[in-house]
Structure 1
């Protein structure tokens, strides 16, 4: 059995940081202690001065396979994720074809088994007419059900309220929802098109996909979840107003309604459209400084439970179209953890809180088995980070297939140096292993 001993690390787990050695045997963490004797272990990593974190679990990515692979694919984007300390991803159903049947779901699992650099699972897409397929899902076969309650990339809008209520009433799986009110958005878009045609200045994006559109949709979904008892997870909350719908007075494991915030909504504001343009065009839109500050407050006081990326690459050619033709979304998996570690350097968040929101909570929320924590008996999905190693995001170190990042020219103060996936050292100091040891997620539901 392969053994790796990580010596002298500062381990961050369960809101604590402590000095320890960590022994990996095969795929698992078998011992966490001070001064573990090396004995006959040949593979020893001195982590002195570095921080050992659980591998990040990203609960919302779009890796574009099948059907949209000119933008990215499971191999390219999971490789970038591993370089950024993400060891597990949950991918979304708006591919081509869409993941709206069990057959299509298993096809994606087969692709990932052959090509992924990280552990994987997939969301099953709900539509206006596939309720019977949702009812057939094995609760341990995939991460959950995804509903687009506002249209976005992939045209998977679910707008039949009778169907939505039936879905909420028919599954015990986590229902993850994109919440934007379609009617509000269409009316706003027509207003600006009447003035500017297709060439609407991108600064109006947060007024088209407005606070009102987000709140109308998320409040309706939350009301329905309370009525039906459904397990609802609201993806990419983008407004301060929405944060007041979520509670922080009960443990995460007991919450029926949870929330996620994405990196871009924590970092950018509407003032950044002038410089970044459509590169920061997302759905939901990046909004005001007050919204950004409200999201940070809700994250820190535990009304918001998870930090994710909504990684959604497009080519620069596509992004450089006029407003109405430029797709929403951008690549983030390689830079999400460095961005949050930068927030730590800036005094916005503690390291333990980063680990809680990016590692522990996704594992707890989706009932992922033996991941998300640094514990004996858990899979050795681990990340070593050097918190005193500045680097600049630039074209020559971006790994996304699309070749760009909204963080270009950003200086980060922390660098991911090692990433372990199931005990296998998959990434080290800019180099990837020629071998892979990845797994389909299992769930304890």
Structure 2
């Protein structure tokens, strides 16, 4: 599966700072010091309703991570998956009377187009669950051979008790885990499981559903969590720098994935930091496919909204915050974009050396994009009210905003 084209990242004078970011597993900030190649895995979409603002906010956060690392003169090895076979996708295809594979490809392509328009830097590997199946089956078989998996009526489950570190990503109690498992794709009430929280590794073939050869597991399809584990281990290995996604993935997805990987490898932890973006609401409720209260990037673009304004609307909120999309949020972003473009269109202006440092410092401090935007606002106000004599300043500001914030002026 291919990703989307990369936009050029302008080179800036000087060098950025190491990223200090909030780690869900420890509950506090940590400073990451990757080697020459920083490694990040971000969980991708299930392609049946793409791309809504909640998606865009999440991928914007991890695009900033890439940009901060690139500014430190590192390379970035970014991997993202596409869950192109899963129950929600199959249910949507059946509801709409369409082929599930065609629906997945259609929505994945729309996602690519939206990411391109928003200037999100693409992953080095963009891997679908279906194409990862040949690598998933041996991992499930290995977990079974290690005594960490068991069969129940043809399905194969992971035993959470096989991982002594289980629970160290989310730090939730058993009752909270069970509730979230039921809400987010698990089956805690299924009779016969060793532990209600045990997640599916391999689902045996069911009539009317797609299935693949699972070797000794029989025909079927992979569970949700093992998909990401197989892709991450194949391309990044253990101990990569960031495991990222929305805050709704903390449990069960990232908790279970960490346990799968840790049992498979005997190493801990799977990732140095678990980083999660907040949720976006509309009319007082979290945007969700089940509720249908979604604002789509593609529709905004069709309505003539500049993608740079959409990106500025996302950047106006700290990535970890839960926030609400409103017409005013978008209008504020449109106004800001116009103000910035007017400021950099002049032939000279106030010095921008301090501004570049301010943007770098803000982003290195747990991706504080609102502080970075406020710094650019101050420069733009100074440009409007006082002007300046630095002939290179508007160009430096334009390049910095593009390189570090992904906004083309």
Is this a same-fold pair by TM over 0.5?
no
Higher Cα Rg: structure 1 or 2? Answer: 2
- TM-score relative to the length of structure 2: 0.34
- Return the structure number with greater helix share: 2
More strand by share: 1
How does the TM-score come out when normalised to structure 1?
A: 0.32
